[in-house]
Copies of this chain bind each other. A is one copy, B any other.
């Protein structure tokens, strides 16, 4: 067994992301507290997001548009005072949010020296590039691939292009649905590192007893596991 390449997810694997979405959603709930009970807002927003995913894809801009649409629906298209302006401001703040590597990330990436590291992420192209730049981790990666959907074909293409094929690659991330299952299907090894919260859309059943799958408690455990495969 030879591993040449390690693919890493970005959001909630290298830095916080879902937390920022949840905090923004908390803020929307507070802004609309007089209009809709929290569970109604949560359910409506989830429904609007799901409906828009095909058109908007992943990322903050689509989320902001879905928050506005939710506000319109719940106010009978009559949003009070500055509600929409507040939502626009919340979206802009998400885009400008500082990016800090999660604990252990820098050291783990340094210990993976000798492997080709490829960042594989989805979301808004510009925003993902800006986050990588702000994280200070950019130089550690041999390649960065921002894709519209993390499916089996995407993993095959990325590891053919930037490595020696999926069979000699590990994919590491916090989303069972986007980072692990399609990567295993493509022939990669999969290292699942849960983040403490997961967006409903990204939840999926683990693959069970799979020879190429491992669940790790932290990214600090990744280098030793990868080296153990060789």
Identify the A interface with B (CB < 8 A): 52, 55-57, 61-62, 64-65, 68-69, 72, 77-79, 81-82, 84-85, 88, 91-92, 95-96, 124-127, 129, 146-149
Contacts and interface: CB of A to CB of B under 8 A. Distances in A.
Given A95-B55, A125-B148, A148-B126, A88 B64 contact: no
Contact of A55 (B82, B96, B148): B96
A82 B77 contact: yes
Contact of A88 (B68, B96, B125, B146): B68
Please tell me how many copies of the chain the complex holds: 2
A92 B129 contact: no
B85 A124 contact: no
A65 B88 contact: yes
A43 to B, nearest CB: 19
A92 B124 contact: no
Contact of A57 (B62, B82, B124, B149): B124
A91 B61 CA distance: 12
A56 B61 CA distance: 7
Nearest to A94: B55
B96 A57 contact: no
Given A82-B77, A125-B124, A146-B125, A61 B72 contact: no
Nearest to A59: B61
Contacts of A147: 125
